[in-house]
Amino acid sequence: MIRAVLGVFWSHWRRNRVQLATLVLGIALATALWTGVQAINAEARAGLEAAARSAIAAEMPRLERRDGGEITVEDFVALRRAGVLVAPVLSGPFQPRPGTTLTLTGIDPLTAPAGLWPQADATADPAAASRIFLPPDVAAGPGQANHPAVPEGQAIADIGIAQRELGRDGFDALILTPPQPLGAPDPQAVLPGLVQVAAAADTDPADLTQSFRLNLTAFGALCFIVGLFIVRATVGLAMAQRRRTVGVLRALGVPLRLVGALMLAELALIAACAGLLGVVLGYLLATALMPGVSLTLDGIYGARIGSAVALRPVWWLGGLAIAVLGTLASAAGPLLRTARGPVIAAPARARPGWLPVAAGLALLALSAALAVLGGSLTAGFAAMAALLLGAAALTPSGLSLLLRAAAPLARGPVAQWTLAETRAQIPQMSLAMTALLMALSANIGVGTMVDSFRRSFSDFIDQRLAAELYVATPDGGAALSALLGDDARPLPITWADAEIAGQPSEIYAVVDDPTYREDWPLLTGAPDAWDRLYAGRATIINEQLHYRSGLGPGDMVTLPDGPAEIVGIIADYGNPLGKLLVSQPRLDRIAPGAVPARIAIRTDRPQALRDDLIAGGIPADRIALQAELKSVSLRIFERTFAVTAALNTLTLAVAGFAVLTSLLTIADSRLPRLAPLWSMGLDRRHLARLELVRVTLSAALTAMLALPVGLALCWLLLTVVNVEAFGWRLPFRADPGAWLLLMGLGCLAAVLAALWPAWRLSRISPRALSEVQSLDQ
């Protein structure tokens, strides 16, 4: 009996091959987008974990030469003899083979702090000290060995080997190994030419990039949901078409449970096969996107990860599981309806009930509550999900309302029919249009956010890079000062790291120059903020510190040398740390001896001054013109959002595919509705054009509904998610041109999807149209 029933089920797919192809492609696409994003996330996580190991050295306090030169072996020996526990480090470019360049770090495995040397026990394998350790993806030659603990782009060797390979005699720095013995002398007292460099602030890239990866996961989930709309539409139609068959089977004595179980098994099998295809597509997608993700993480957070994608069970097994579970979940409704239906099936009538409207309104209310009261990144994403799902639930009713409102505008019977038919077909098209609405909303929301960010960032760069020339000054600027004439105003950039209000922060000195008053606008603050700052008792903080510490204008903050009143807040996009601006004398008190690492120069003749400085002995690579810096900054910015743009486009493409599958699956049921028009004198091409118009109209109205949803999404991104994830709030920048373009693209995707069904209709045999009029409607 099982075989006979399965034969009957299979005959449905044999006769409806387009439907089967649609189902398989829908599941495969949904799985591909989900697994692709998960593969990227897994790779990013693994890359960051490896990178974190390499960052240990940078996070430890170290000694460097004040003049930027090498530390000699004698210096090292002198400090060790004085009782200071130090370990030498050295790094430089290294080519394990032609065409491959790595950063070789030399470490003394016996004196280095735990965790720096790849092997846990440096004394266990004495031969290891003679090898150069390479990351797993670089082929090891003689004298080299691969080790999984070596991050991509890095190589690690004993300090002696590194000196030989790099052609150096001394060291870059000496790491102060914790804990130092009691009574150990001040190293700067032992060797006055050295300067102690504080530990880098605690900015774990894995923490910072979590928001980015959460963002990717959200996009993956959105794509998956849009893909499941395809599955839901196809399974729904297949089950509706099978209802009569199921009734006949039950009338012939097949138990209901067996019918239900076999339908489930059949769907699970299709989902597993399609899921496998999706996993392969997901791998290809991840491979294509990974270089962009790698650049993005580098661009935003400076986190270096690789661009290769490994087959990790965590995502491909997960992808298969979610393909089967997602398919069964999206098919549950139609399956239950079919299984629970009467033995002799009655034609089902789709009536938009009040439940979706009530659920939609409740979800929108939940979204608003989460946005206002949530106060966390997770709540921000939950608010976005609730907004999208609420809007999705309200889409059919919204479309119906718009079409009803437009009905009086129809002139002539054909226009009247088009509007009425579009409205009547909402139940059949609602899933596709909902998928389109979600994709368009995401595109409008994220696009507007990125555009707001781009324009704010561009303005910010214009303001912040006000000086015409920037010079790196490892010597503190002594050499530069002698070369500057009266026509150049130097603005030293000096800072010290500190923990302020529990947040890792930087305290910057600003000299009293019109540049700051004119070009560094405050987001909020007192009118005399700059005057009070220069007077030495006040500070201006960045937005990140404002949001994270809850401190604002009027509040007092404790600096290392005493309290200061916050008199203003400035934007500081792209900086993960808190920042405080104080007067130069105050920074001198906070960090005596701090010297400017860079000097900005205001001048009317930047190019000529640059030439003069080079002629005066400043290396050319230490000098940057304002235009060059702006160009580099904006290039990094564009690169940063390349992956987001790619995922946006993919989501829209999947929504277009959802429209196509919906149109293909309902194509047969359209004929009885079109045949009366044909018999009344509208030819097939005219009917095909009307079908195109109908789909375009649906897509245009969906786009109209997507606009407010997208803007609400953008608001959530700007005011909730960005603030929680990055610590800055961007001003909303409206770009109606871009919105219209996106709405047009949404319509274009729908029209492209409708072209093939319309073309098929324009060539359908007249006999099919005449015969359909004799059949049941």
Instruction: Name the site residues for other proteins (rule: CB under 8 A).
Output: 412-414, 416-417, 420-421, 423-425, 672-673, 675-684, 686, 766-767, 769-770, 773-777
Q: Which residue has the tokens 């920037």?
A: 470
Least distance (Å) between residue 679 CB and other proteins: 5
Least distance (Å) between residue 413 CB and other proteins: 4
Helix or strand (DSSP H, E) at 472? strand 469-472
Least distance (Å) between residue 343 CB and other proteins: 24
In terms of CB distance, is 452 or 662 closer to other proteins? 662
Asked if 623 and 614 count as a contact pair (C-beta separation under 8 A), the reply is: yes
Least distance (Å) between residue 766 CB and other proteins: 6
In terms of CB distance, is 169 or 683 closer to other proteins? 683
In terms of CB distance, is 212 or 417 closer to other proteins? 417
Least distance (Å) between residue 420 CB and other proteins: 4
Judged by DSSP in three states, 570 sits in strand
In terms of CB distance, is 12 or 673 closer to other proteins? 673
Least distance (Å) between residue 19 CB and other proteins: 23
Residue 720 DSSP code = I
In terms of CB distance, is 30 or 671 closer to other proteins? 671
b/e burial code for range 531-565 (CB count within 10 A of at least 16 → b): ebbbeeebbbbbbbbbbbbebebeeebebeeeebb
Helix or strand (DSSP H, E) at 397? helix 377-406
Phi, psi of 209 (to 5 degrees): -80, -5
In terms of CB distance, is 558 or 773 closer to other proteins? 773
In terms of CB distance, is 59 or 668 closer to other proteins? 668
Judged by DSSP in three states, 490 sits in strand
Work out the angle at residue 675's Cα, subtended by the Cα atoms of residues 669 and 678, and round it to the nearest 5 degrees: 145
In terms of CB distance, is 164 or 763 closer to other proteins? 763
Distance in angstroms (rounded) separating the CA atoms of residues 319 and 221: 12
Least distance (Å) between residue 658 CB and other proteins: 23
Asked if 542 and 525 count as a contact pair (C-beta separation under 8 A), the reply is: no
Distance in angstroms (rounded) separating the CA atoms of residues 757 and 662: 10
Quickly count helices (H) and strands (E) in the chain.
25, 18
Least distance (Å) between residue 425 CB and other proteins: 8
Asked if 684 and 764 count as a contact pair (C-beta separation under 8 A), the reply is: yes
Q: Tell me whether residue 125 is exposed, middle or buried, using C-beta atoms within 10 angstroms of its C-beta: 0 to 12, 13 to 18, 19 or more.
A: exposed
Q: Amino acid identity of 155?
A: A
Least distance (Å) between residue 687 CB and other proteins: 10
In terms of CB distance, is 425 or 443 closer to other proteins? 425
In terms of CB distance, is 181 or 347 closer to other proteins? 347
Least distance (Å) between residue 663 CB and other proteins: 17
**Omega within 30 of 0 (cis) for the link into 179:** yes
Catalogue the long-range contacts made by 313-318 (C-beta closer than 8 Å, 24 or more residues apart).
314/38, 314/42, 315/35, 315/38, 315/39, 315/41, 315/42, 315/282, 316/35, 316/39, 316/279, 316/282, 316/283, 318/35, 318/38
Distance in angstroms (rounded) separating the CA atoms of residues 32 and 650: 11
Distance in angstroms (rounded) separating the CA atoms of residues 109 and 102: 20
Least distance (Å) between residue 400 CB and other proteins: 12
Residue 308 DSSP code = -
Q: Which residue has the tokens 């390349």?
A: 642
Least distance (Å) between residue 338 CB and other proteins: 23
In terms of CB distance, is 168 or 244 closer to other proteins? 244
Distance in angstroms (rounded) separating the CA atoms of residues 169 and 172: 10
Residue 365 DSSP code = H
Least distance (Å) between residue 644 CB and other proteins: 41
Q: Is the Cα dihedral 716, 717, 718, 721 positive or negative?
A: positive
Asked if 757 and 688 count as a contact pair (C-beta separation under 8 A), the reply is: no
Phi, psi of 222 (to 5 degrees): -60, -45
Least distance (Å) between residue 770 CB and other proteins: 4
Least distance (Å) between residue 396 CB and other proteins: 15
In terms of CB distance, is 183 or 412 closer to other proteins? 412
Q: Which tokens go with 712? A: 């609400």
In terms of CB distance, is 379 or 671 closer to other proteins? 671
308 contacts: CB under 8 Å, gap ≥ 6: 43, 137, 290
Helix or strand (DSSP H, E) at 88? strand 86-97
Least distance (Å) between residue 681 CB and other proteins: 2
Q: How many CA atoms lie within 13 A of 64 on its CB side?
A: 14
Distance in angstroms (rounded) separating the CA atoms of residues 356 and 460: 44
In terms of CB distance, is 399 or 647 closer to other proteins? 399
In terms of CB distance, is 180 or 762 closer to other proteins? 762
In terms of CB distance, is 673 or 733 closer to other proteins? 673
Least distance (Å) between residue 684 CB and other proteins: 7
Q: Amino acid identity of 307?
A: S
User: How far, in whole angstroms, is CA 471 from its chain's centroid?
Assistant: 33
63 contacts: CB under 8 Å, gap ≥ 6: 71, 79, 86, 173, 174, 176, 187, 191, 194, 195, 196, 197
Using DSSP bridges, classify how beta strands 538-542 and 578-583 pair: parallel, antiparallel or unpaired.
antiparallel
Q: Which residue has the tokens 């399609």?
A: 274
In terms of CB distance, is 621 or 776 closer to other proteins? 776
In terms of CB distance, is 536 or 676 closer to other proteins? 676
Least distance (Å) between residue 676 CB and other proteins: 4
